[in-house]
Amino acid sequence: MSPLAHIVALPVRAYRLIFSPWVGWNCRYQPTCSQYALDALERHGALRGGWMALCRIARCNPWGGCGYDPVPGNDDEETGNKT
């Protein structure tokens, strides 16, 4: 994770530490929005990952979707396969 992404991740980590236990561990999506934000920042960096996290949070509403929604990216990076 880049240094800028670490800085952008600080409010997410603070939310998970301070507010999330009060609000509850219920989320419409898997992984949770905060985990999605951390994964997006780690995989895509501060700018693109931050934008992806904001878009995900905007979708997390009563009229939005639900279910499994992982961070998009190249699956070959995770498995180490090269095609």
Residue 13 has pLDDT above 90, yes or no: yes
Q: Is 53 helix (H, G, I), strand (E, B) or coil?
A: helix
Between CA 56 and CA 2 the distance in angstroms is 21
Phi, psi of 68 (to 5 degrees): -80, 125
pTM across the whole model:
0.83
- Indicate the pLDDT class of residue 74, thresholds 50, 70 and 90: low
Give the model's pLDDT for residue 83. 45
Residue 73 has pLDDT above 90, yes or no: no
Specify the DSSP class assigned to residue 6: H
Cβ-count burial 13-35 (b if 16+ within 10 Å, e if not):
eeeeeeebeeeeeebebebbbbb
Give the model's pLDDT for residue 75. 59
Name the more confident of 82 and 14: 14
